[in-house]
Amino acid sequence: MKSYSVETGDGIIQDFSISFKEQKTSFVLERWEYNNLERITLIFTGVVLQDFEYFSDFNCISDIGETSDAVEFQPYWQAYLDKWQKHVKRHLAEIAQGASWRYFFISTSGGLDGFVICKDFELTTAIVLDGD
């Protein structure tokens, strides 16, 4: 499983949005990298299934992991499947059709946790405050 902890670790979620119409989920994180304030944007597109829980007023990313293997991803979404399987049959059938899905888990040191199953992912960074 690929980890994005170097790129996103200690990023505090500033914005989180879901567009069901566009099948897009995005996060904006901020973190201090040395003396610079860094803004990290995560965009998941072609989202077929996602779940998030444990929202709080402080959501600090500890890791984002990615795999393309549904079996390897199983532990991260098994509880969701156990609870909602009969309600998401159409989505599960779409996933089972074998398209090139990307499976992501999001974990925090406090606050939001969840997963996203999507077709594409984009991660960008920018320095918004240069402390040097």
Whole-model pTM? 0.87
* Residue 130 banded pLDDT, cuts 50, 70, 90: confident
Structure tokens belonging to residue 76: 């991260």
Decide: 104 and 123 in contact? Cβ < 8 Å.
no
pLDDT at 14 over 70: yes
> pLDDT tens digit string along 65-115?
999 988 888 887 777 777 777 777 777 777 777 668 999 999 998 889 999
pLDDT of 1 > 80? The answer is yes
Please tell me what DSSP assigns to residue 87. Answer: G
pLDDT tens for residues 22-76?
999 999 999 998 889 999 999 999 999 999 999 888 999 999 999 998 888 888 7
